[in-house]
Amino acid sequence: MWIWDKKKDAERSLKNYFSLDNFPEIKGYDFEKNFDFKEFLKSYKNMGFQGSNLGAAISIFQEIIEKKVPLYISFTGNMISSGNRELIAYLVKNNHVKAIVTTASAIEEDIIKCIKPFHLGSFEIKGSFLLENLIGRIGNIFVPADRYVYLERFINEVFKNIYKQQKEKNKIFSTHGLAGEIGLYIEKNEYTSKKCKESFLYWASKNKILVFCPGITDGTLGDISVFFKRNHQDFVIDITEDNKFLTSMLMNEETAASLILGGGISKHFLLNAAIFRDGFEYSIYLTTAQEFDGSDSGGDQEEAISWSKIKPNAKRIKVVADATITFPLLISSIIKKRIIEPTH
């Protein structure tokens, strides 16, 4: 064993060894004391492994919110499939977000959940059984096919509205313009109006927070657009306007922060726009993707620094864990309301 091989050397130079006394001590939360939620969150810093990375993310996130640093969020559609939708809506409703970059499925599912819910199922169930019963599966979340019938009706009405403006006013919509129209229509539509205040798109429209969707055709929105385009050959959505607008926003920020849930096109679109300002000053990744295959989804922050997407001296951390576990803990760290004690 290495310690015995080095024993004599260690005994001779014991006084000169590299001391770790100033390093944080690894220690978990003491549940023998009265439970204090704030102290519990702080204890993650000293947990070790990804627990310590989560503790660092909590500290960085609290600083972003306290200093009112403009926060740009990107997330994949599965965040809206899951219960993280409500947490994202909370951030948007309370103006903690400057802009959002997301995927087509996030927009679709935010609309659908204003109509009918998704349901908890199982990771193990046979795909053939679900296919026969017209149920789609997102991990262990089940989505009956009838949801997409309502979605198609909703989106067709939105497309008709923006196409009318295109023809009558020569107005070409970007994806952030389309998302804004959807957010407004959620409040008016007969299917979605009752639950409109649960929608992040609704609150984004109300608070004038832009939602960019670079992969707008990658999903049901794209499927519906195929049929709409067949009947309206000159129908256009201008995605280049999104690049122009987002880069302009970031270039005008003195300081900017990014919070990235998952990877994919939404992550790359946001980080790539930050190149125009030499990167973000703050950045938090919550992801399960690894860097070993060279994908942008798994790319770590050192890689992002090499492309000027994050500044070399940025306050940053990557937490490698499921965002349905880490994101709720992150959001809980900025809640100021009193925690209600259970009654006995």
d(CA 73, CA 261): 8
d(CA 79, CA 330): 14
Active site residue 68: no
- Among the residues of the chain, which ranges form H helices? 2-5, 7-12, 37-42, 49-66, 78-81, 84-93, 104-113, 127-132, 146-169, 175-188, 200-206, 220-231, 240-251, 264-274, 301-306, 323-332
d(CA 186, CA 188): 6
Sequence-separated (6 or more) residues with CB below 8 Å from residue 137: 121, 125, 127, 130, 143
The DSSP result for 125-165, as a single string, is S-HHHHHHTTEEEETTEEEETHHHHHHHHHHHHHHHHHHHH
Question: Which residue in 93, 113, 267, 309 is the catalytic one?
Answer: 309
- The residues annotated with a catalytic role in the active site are 309
